[in-house]
Amino acid sequence: MSNVPAINAPPIDIGISDDQRQQIAAGLGRVLADSYVLYGKTHGFHWNVTGPMFNTLHLMFMEQYTELWMALDVIAERIRALGCPAPFGGARFAALSSIPETQGQPPALEMVRELVMGHEAVARTARSLFPLVAEAGDEPTSDLLTQRLQIHEKTAWMLRSLLDA
């Protein structure tokens, strides 16, 4: 046992109320869950894609899942900076996510279609937080959400372009 007295951290005082911080963190938890589920789906499709577009899609999916993987930490760390625990674990993410699990082994273009819908789902989830974030004056979260929206909307457009006949 140590004789060093415990020093408690001061309460969080960043100019955003506790209630607003908790609501924003809960919303970011949904963005994190959507992003994680989409990461897993994209990585699984990378492993399992077949057909004439194999090489193109295999490489495209790798770029996309790598970007999503890097984003997970940024989102989770923002939740932590707001003073809340970041959700984790498959069951927790499944409960929070708006993205359904893929059933079976879809063909390549169905994979693309599912990823379009996944990126658009993350965009909707992120966009839904803006009123709360703006009301709280939470510019760092607003910036994070804007960056995520740009990526998800652009990725959905690029994937959708593969489906246009």
Q: What is the pLDDT of residues 105-158, one digit of tens each?
A: 999 999 999 999 999 999 999 999 999 999 999 999 999 999 999 999 999 999
* Overall pTM > 0.85: yes
Q: What is the pLDDT of residues 58-100, one digit of tens each?
A: 999 999 999 999 999 999 999 999 999 999 999 999 999 999 9
* Residue 4 pLDDT grade (very low, low, confident, very high; cuts 50, 70, 90): confident
Helices (H), the chain: 18-48, 54-81, 90-96, 108-127, 130-136, 139-163
How is residue 52 written in tokens? 């004439």
Residue of 8, 17, 7 whose CA lies nearest to 83: 17
Q: What is the pLDDT of residues 33-60, one digit of tens each?
A: 999 999 999 999 999 999 999 999 999 9
Contact yes or no for 10/126 (Cβ under 8 A):
no
Angle, helices 54-81 vs 139-163, to 10°: value is: 170
pLDDT at 2: 65
